[in-house]
Chain A
Amino acid sequence: MLLAMFAIATLPDNVFDTWDEIHVKTAMKLTYLRFSIVIFALLGYPIILFTSVRNAKFVTIALTAWAIAIYIDDHLVLYRIIEYPQRGLVNFIQAIRPLFLACLIWMSFELTFRPPEGG
């Protein structure tokens, strides 16, 4: 996701195959917002994970829900409002997004259903 954010945020002006400036601007604004949330999550998650597994479970579920929500938003809700650049790296990251979601879902199930070690 960081790679995707970086790829989108550092694009030159002329790479968008765009016909609507508003769509591109909206995509950029959303990207910056999501970028900020991802940075906070990546910084805070290890701290939460090593201090409380119970809280880590809820944080993981919340992050998974958010990742799925933005995935659904991008593909089913906002596909007429935002436009992502047709660039190799962005396309690749978008393609492997379901894999990333599967990992998060797996982590959520693991933290929910696996009994704690030594318990």
Chain B
Amino acid sequence: MADKKINTTEINAILEAFAESREVKANIIKQSKTFKTLLLLCNAYVVVFLVIYYFLNSNLLNAIDADLISEDFLTVFNGRANVMFWLFLGINMAAYFNLGFKVMCLIALVFLLNTTVDNFIIFSGLISLNDRPYLTTFVVSRPLFVVGLTWLALSFKDTLDGN
């Protein structure tokens, strides 16, 4: 009776046939210049504000108003900065491996909108934006960032997933 089990050579042949990695396939997909520019700008935005925050937190940057550096506000900014860092790490990894990029963008968008509204509610009665240039720049540029992130998700080509 013939042995119907596949041998090692056949297993290797099958594995080799499907050996093309997801990363290689992801690299074949050419993303548009708009996407690349937006990804660069969004990363720059996050990095710049994280750097400003860590400089303020470490007393390396002169805070215009000492009230901004109160424990309560720093706790909030610290939490937001950490979440934003991990979200953008996830977005960049998703873009590199072409896996769940739009979902990551959607999660980041929801988080951004939630934090924007929460910040508005929490800080509206407590601080004025007039004499806080770092915070004002951050708040004013936030809608632009939201638009950029939405555009980034829409301009992404994910032919492998077909989502």
Q: Which residues of A contact B (CB under 8 A)?
A: 22, 25-26, 29-30, 33, 58, 61-62, 65-66, 69-70, 72-73, 76-82, 112
Contacts and interface: CB of A to CB of B under 8 A. Distances in A.
Given A29-B121, A73-B79, A81 B72 contact: yes
Contact of B79 (A22, A65, A72, A112): A72
B28 interface: no
Interface string B114-158: 110110011001100000000000000000000000000000000
Contacts of A78: 76, 79, 118, 122
Interface residues of B, number: 23
A97 to B, nearest CB: 16
A104 to B, nearest CB: 12
26 contacts: A25-B125, A26-B121, A29-B121, A30-B121, A33-B117, A62-B106, A62-B109, A62-B110, A65-B110, A65-B111, A66-B110, A69-B111, A69-B114, A72-B83, A76-B82, A76-B83, A77-B80, A78-B76, A78-B79, A78-B118, A78-B122, A80-B72, A80-B76, A81-B75, A81-B76, A82-B122
A100 B67 CA distance: 38
B10 to A, nearest CB: 29
Contacts of A72: 79, 83
Given A26-B122, A33-B117, A61 B76 contact: no
Grouping DSSP codes into helix (H, G, I), strand (E, B) and loop, the A interface class, with mixed when no group exceeds half, is helix
Interface string B70-95: 01100110111011000000000000
A43 B112 CA distance: 23
